[in-house]
Amino acid sequence: MEEIRRIGVFTSGGDAPGMNACIRAVVRTAIAHDLEVVGIRRGYAGMIEGDFVEMDGRSVSNILQLGGTILKSARSKAFMTPEGRAKAAEQLRKAGIDALVAIGGDGTFRGAAVFYEEHHIPIVGCPGTIDNDLFGTDETIGFDTAMNTAIQNIDRIRDTADAHDRLFLVEVMGRDAGFIALNCGIGSGAEMVLIPETFTDIEEIKERILSLMSAQSRSSIVVVAEGDEHGGATQIAQDLREDPAFARIDLRVCILGHTQRGGSPTARDRVLASRLGAAAVEALLQGHSNVMVGVVNGEIKLTPLKHVYSRKKTIDYELIKLTQLLG
């Protein structure tokens, strides 16, 4: 492996709170090792176009607390083609970039793995996605912030739900995974939590909601992951409204959507992102490549990129039992 002198860093896919903290850690750790750092704007799209910016310690000052990503993010169809990846490799070599740190989710790492196999430019990934669905790390950058944002919003919704004895179906992000829904459901005291990892029996849901609403004459909150197999909060609400038994129930839907992606990262996400950004640079200098840095049981762990996106991270079924017990 050739000596690394110049590192490129980029963010790709959906933004996540804490990405800036990770960028900051990458830049300052690299500088501490006398390396040069280049920021690649707009992810793989910017890599293909040569949208690069020189970075130093000052360029990452006062970004730790910011949501979003100063390097911007984008999804690139061109990078999905061999020609696009070849153009990206040409741009990197032209700029003298010896290695890469990729901050993103499974789509980012799928692209990174193929890119490494084709062009052999060393690359290490940092898990940045609010969904927390990546194998090889207990938590991803942005998950804690998204979860707390969702809980804060559900707390506010509960105030108005209680004032009017309403039933609220609150949809949170989680395209294929219920980590946000499950954790913020417990944290907000939701009466029910519906996630992709468990089967949604609409008749059983109706029965339970009716029991809660009539017997206790109170409001109810049902947290639904957007990826629930029954179709999300809007579809479930439609099914409930078509049932005459729900005619007298004041039912509302609230989709939290992209509010969960924005905002200042929590302390937990800032620390996690800083650890992972620094670890990514150290991993490259130690000769590792085509891996993701993660934190498992409090320790830094390296996982091959192909395992990150091909192996499914399992939900904690003890937490599912807890939602049923406490709901």
Q: Would you please indicate which residues are annotated as catalytic (active-site) residues?
A: 131
Residues 6+ apart with CB under 8 A from 220: 161, 167, 168, 191, 192, 209, 212, 213
Q: Return the structure tokens found at 50.
A: 């040569």
- Tell me if residue 81 falls in helix, strand or coil: coil
Q: Return the structure tokens found at 28.
A: 């300052």
Euclidean distance between CA atoms 264 and 201, whole angstroms: 37
Residue keyed to tokens 């970075």? 55
Residue keyed to tokens 């609010």? 130
CB 105 within 8 A of CB 127: yes
Euclidean distance between CA atoms 321 and 305, whole angstroms: 32
Residues 6+ apart with CB under 8 A from 62: none
Euclidean distance between CA atoms 72 and 23, whole angstroms: 11
Burial of 78: CB neighbours in 10 Å, binned 0-12, 13-18, 19+: middle
DSSP alpha helix (H) spans, 95-178: 106-119, 143-164
Q: Return the structure tokens found at 168.
A: 């609220």
124: β partners: 101, 291
The radius of gyration of the chain from alpha carbons, rounded to an integer in Å, stands at: 22
